[in-house]
Amino acid sequence: MLLFYWIYPGLFKPNLDQLRNPKTTPMTTSIKTHLLNTLYILIGLTLLVMLVPANTYRWDLTENNAYELSEFSQHIATSIDDMVQIHLYFSSRFPSHLHLVKDHVLSVLDTYRQLNPNYIQIKELDPDENPALAHTAATMGLPKFQVKVNTPDRSTMMSGMAGIIIYYQDQQHIIPMILHSDNLEFKLSIGIHQLIQKTPTKIGLISPSISQTKQHYQVFLKQLQERYDVQSSLADTPIDPSLKSLLILHPKQLSENQLNNIDQYLHNGGQVVLLNDSIEIHGNHATPIKSGLEPLLKNIGIQIQPELIIGDLAGLAPFYNQVEQLNTPSPLWPVIKRGFMRTDHPITNEIPQLTLPYVSPYQYTPRYPLRHTILVNSSPQSALLSAPYNLDPQHTHLITSPQQYPLIGLWTGRFPSLFNPEQLATKKGTLSVIGTSLVAQDISIKFHPNNLSFMLNLMDYLNLGSQDILPKAVTQHRPLPPLSPQTKRQLQWGITFLSPGLILIIGLLIYIKRKNQI
């Protein structure tokens, strides 16, 4: 009303000529003119509201470019040539801080839609309002989970859904839990890529015995084969350079020819995931073994230690006696909590904990300009078990001189060649080293399913070209100092009274101006 009073004073204040001589200028003419002007403005605003959503461009002015997609994600979104529907299921009963997460998720989804509006549709659904919808989502694999709600007098648990289902043709991809927006772009782009890819990505698998590998790694291999074209090899011949990555499981005494083929693949920009064992298990005892990859790793500056980690938090492990299988906690199956993992990396960001059976730590002495990332560390209260190895769960392992050790590492860069040291690498490769192969075996995944999630995250990260998608908000440096409580209160009071104060001042100025004109 104040705005109209300012723009169209004739609607509220008669003209001086009308007061002196009402017959000269009919007041109704002035009112009609102002009404027509108002009608034109309303029509213009209506057209603007209709046209703007279909023709928008958003400048990302956030400190960390939270809404700017990577080149990989932009390529994925623009390459879609058939309808992709992204349904966000979010319970309206969730507390307000999760609704802020929902708003950010919707903004990121809208960024994808704007890149390809003809083939990307976004829909927001509330499972609390429609039980049938919630049941359908649950049958497709979207779980309900509980969140803690704090009130002034008590704390309660509230259940609901917060996840995404991506539909493409007759396929679906589930993102089950969204409690924060970290790595959301990574999850979305990976999911869409897996659905729309025309031909599966080829990866290689090297193991000493293909038949035993299929027997002991059934769950992991089944998941890999659903995602990729897995080609088994013994590395006796040069490795196909078109393989996106190479997975080496439990290598034992590799020949020099095999070592050379692996070396050349990594040197030429390949990506290698090594699950290396330092021991061969025989019941409750073990003997040390060599993989044959020691010279290659040493040339890079990596040494996998022969000792095993003794953890302060024991994971459940199966043991066999002459009668039955016993499941009992073992400190040689150390549980690694989230706090000892790289929480700002897509591979480990969503993993609550890992259990690494009979894992050996590694040492790294940089020799070349490679980027080294420690994905998983042991607890600072860990110790080392040297040979002879006693794996008996009833045996008490004393932890003396506790220390933290790196367990899973990731290296990226131009790797040197062991056999051709003067030959310079022209492409960047990637190497990940894990000091145990049991992390991916069925016997481990059965009791610790997070191990499977970790391994799949690692393989997806390497094989789907998504290494440039890293969480932005977590790693961003904030140049502004935090505000003190007093400054926050001053800003709150200032913002609260600023708008009413400005309106009051403007109104008084207009009133004084009108009064002086009469």
> Are 353 and 489 in the same domain?
no
Question: What distance in Å separates the CA atoms of residue 424 and residue 415, rounded to the nearest whole number?
Answer: 8
Q: Is residue 65 part of a domain?
A: no
> Are 185 and 253 in the same domain?
no
pLDDT in tens, the chain (518 residues): 444 444 445 444 444 444 455 554 555 666 777 677 778 788 877 877 676 655 555 565 555 555 677 777 888 899 899 999 999 998 888 887 788 888 888 988 999 999 999 999 999 999 888 888 888 888 888 888 777 777 777 777 878 888 899 999 988 888 887 877 767 888 888 889 888 888 888 999 999 888 888 889 999 999 899 889 999 987 889 999 999 999 999 999 999 999 999 999 999 999 999 999 999 988 888 999 999 999 999 999 999 999 999 999 999 888 777 667 788 899 999 999 999 999 888 899 878 899 999 999 999 999 999 999 999 999 999 999 998 888 887 788 877 889 999 999 999 999 999 998 888 888 999 999 999 999 999 999 999 999 998 999 999 899 876 555 544 433 333 444 555 667 777 777 877 777 777 888 888 888 787 777 76
> Are 447 and 357 in the same domain?
yes
Q: Is residue 478 part of a domain?
A: no
Into how many domains does the chain fold?
4
pTM score above 0.85: no
> Are 14 and 139 in the same domain?
no
Q: Is residue 61 part of a domain?
A: no
Across 393-416, b (16+ Cβ under 10 Å) vs e yields: beeeeeeeeeeebbbbbbbbbebb
Q: Is residue 338 part of a domain?
A: yes
Which CATH number fits the domain that encloses residue 150? 3.40.30.10
Q: Is residue 62 part of a domain?
A: no
Question: What distance in Å separates the CA atoms of residue 65 and residue 469, rounded to the nearest whole number?
Answer: 13
- With a CB cutoff of 8 Å and minimum separation 6, the contacts of 444 are 355, 357, 438, 451
In the beta sheet, which residues pair with residue 248? 206, 274
> Are 509 and 383 in the same domain?
no
> Are 154 and 211 in the same domain?
no
- Out of 134, 169, 195, a domain closes at 195
> Are 190 and 217 in the same domain?
no
> Are 76 and 222 in the same domain?
no
Which range of residues forms the domain containing residue 114? 71-195
Q: Is residue 479 part of a domain?
A: no
Ordered DSSP codes for 285-341: EEEE---S-HHHHHHHTEEE-SSEEE-SSEEEEEEE-SS-EEEEEEEEEEEEEGGGB
> Are 379 and 360 in the same domain?
yes
> Are 453 and 318 in the same domain?
yes
- Out of 16, 31, 55, a domain closes at 55
> Are 429 and 281 in the same domain?
yes
- Out of 153, 180, 195, a domain closes at 195
> Are 114 and 236 in the same domain?
no
Q: In angstroms, how far apart are the furthest CA atoms of the chain?
A: 117
